[in-house]
């Protein structure tokens, strides 16, 4: 096909996008400023584990950290992270930096499509100005803007990029059709043409805001049911027999999407003079769940007659969700931090996470689960498939005879513990 495509950012989002385009287009370049990341991709290694070595070996995409390699492109896709800062405000530095890189390469007739999650207005009000400043060209006249929000679900091998409807938007009807046609070449599920770029930006940011609020409701319900001595899963299974009951579950909410995107919307709302109440209330509930789980663990230790300061607790799973190595914005460290503050000795294990990243980002060390003996409590924080595939007796071998199993996401049956042991789930 005629478009020469450059994908800027080769993380969880950009890499699958890049490889998908390379399956249909002859000239595709994947650019990332992280030279180590580019080097591993050239060696057919994906540390995010989204693509296997065979898929990388088969791709015709050029992976590079040299910005000179993208200057011949005609269709730019920006897929860099959009995190929040320490004050939970949008951090647009990555997308601004990527815009400067693209701006230096822009030529008349090029299209720039943003996939990064942003609040409505960023593409046209922030990024366009950077592109214009770097290129000396005029947005909407010399080059054109599009937006197509990413819908990558890390670790999900069923809902892959080609199988999920792609929302697309452009700064004009002609741009919209160009963007739509380009994505239609790789998206089997088809594309949805949004009314405007701001509409598409807003659609993305509310997708995860909606999930965040619904999970917050489940988490609040779980805290209520805990006081009623009811297992939340039992209640949800009963309620779920009604056709219109939504199948959300309580749990820890982290990662680079659900735990972040709502702050992009609330920040924009506050800049317009509106203070969101429901969204921020949901965020407060979800951000508090790690502490709640830790405090419940301490209470159960006390009820079992275990001296808290002498207790040893094992944590299974540190990533933000199951079956991925991504530790960004994981809420499991909240459990660890709270337990440590109570004087508990905590040991951690995660078969998916990278030990150096855990040490650098979380200041925690991974240990060998085979060496765990006589734990007072075991917290299954992230139910990776590798844990669930193990024999339950083997998984619980490190737990003492009167120990406590904290099954955060109700991944196991309460029957796996002995009569002397205690089972609890969120």
Active site residues: 257
350 Rama sector, left if φ>0, alpha if ψ -120 to 50, beta otherwise: beta
CB count within 10 Å of CB 302 equals 12
CA angle 95, 120, 6 (to 5 degrees): 35
**In this structure, which long-range contacts are made by residues 130-133, counting pairs with CB atoms below 8 Å and at least 24 apart in sequence?**
130/96, 130/99, 130/100, 130/103, 131/99, 131/102, 131/103, 131/106, 132/103, 133/103
CA angle 80, 355, 59 (to 5 degrees): 45
d(CA 55, CA 308): 49
191 near 166, Cβ under 8 Å? yes
182 near 234, Cβ under 8 Å? no
- DSSP-based three-state secondary structure for 130: helix
384 near 322, Cβ under 8 Å? yes
As a residue count, the chain comes to 426
Helix (H) or strand (E) holding 197: helix 197-227
CB count within 10 Å of CB 293 equals 24
């Amino acid at each position: 096909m005629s478009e020469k495509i450059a994908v800027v950012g080769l993380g969880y989002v950009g890499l699958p996008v890049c490889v998908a385009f390379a399956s249909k287009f002859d000239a595709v370049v994947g650019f990332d400023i992280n030279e180590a990341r580019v080097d591993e991709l050239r060696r057919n290694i994906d540390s995010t584990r989204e693509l296997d070595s065979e898929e990388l070996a088969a791709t015709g995409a050029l992976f590079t950290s040299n910005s000179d390699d993208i200057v011949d492109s005609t269709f730019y896709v920006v897929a860099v992270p959009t995190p929040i800062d320490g004050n939970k405000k949008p951090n647009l530095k990555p997308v601004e930096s990527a815009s400067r890189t693209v701006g230096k390469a822009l030529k008349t007739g090029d299209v720039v499509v943003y996939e990064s999650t942003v609040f409505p207005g960023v593409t046209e009000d922030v990024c366009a100005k950077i592109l214009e400043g770097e290129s000396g060209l005029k947005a909407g006249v010399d080059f054109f803007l599009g937006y197509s929000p990413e819908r990558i679900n890390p670790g999900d091998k069923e809902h892959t990029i080609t199988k999920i409807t792609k929302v697309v938007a452009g700064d004009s009807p002609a741009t919209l059709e160009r963007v739509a046609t380009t994505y239609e070449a790789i998206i089997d599920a088809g594309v949805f043409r949004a009314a405007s770029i701001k509409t598409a930006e807003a659609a993305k940011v509310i997708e995860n805001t909606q999930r965040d609020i619904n999970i917050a409701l489940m988490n609040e319900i779980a805290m209520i049911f805990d006081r009623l001595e009811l297992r939340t899963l039992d209640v949800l299974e009963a309620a779920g027999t009604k056709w219109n009951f939504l199948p959300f579950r309580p749990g820890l909410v982290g990662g680079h999407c659900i735990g972040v995107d709502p702050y992009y919307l609330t920040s924009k709302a506050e800049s317009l003079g509106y203070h969101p109440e429901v969204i921020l209330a949901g965020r407060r509930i979800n951000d508090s769940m790690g502490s709640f789980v830790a405090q419940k663990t301490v209470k159960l230790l006390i009820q079992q007659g275990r001296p808290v300061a002498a207790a040893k607790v094992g944590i299974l799973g540190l990533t933000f969700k199951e079956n991925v190595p991504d530790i960004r914005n994981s809420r499991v460290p909240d459990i660890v931090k709270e337990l440590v503050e109570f004087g508990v000795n905590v040991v951690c294990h995660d078969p998916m996470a990278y030990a150096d990243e855990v040490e650098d980002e979380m200041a925690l060390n991974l240990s060998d689960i085979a060496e765990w003996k006589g734990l007072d409590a075991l917290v299954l924080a992230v139910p990776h498939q590798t844990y669930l595939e193990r024999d339950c007796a083997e998984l619980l071998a490190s737990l003492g005879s009167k120990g406590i199993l904290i099954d955060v996401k109700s991944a196991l049956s309460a029957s796996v513990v002995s009569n002397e042991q205690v089972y609890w789930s969120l």
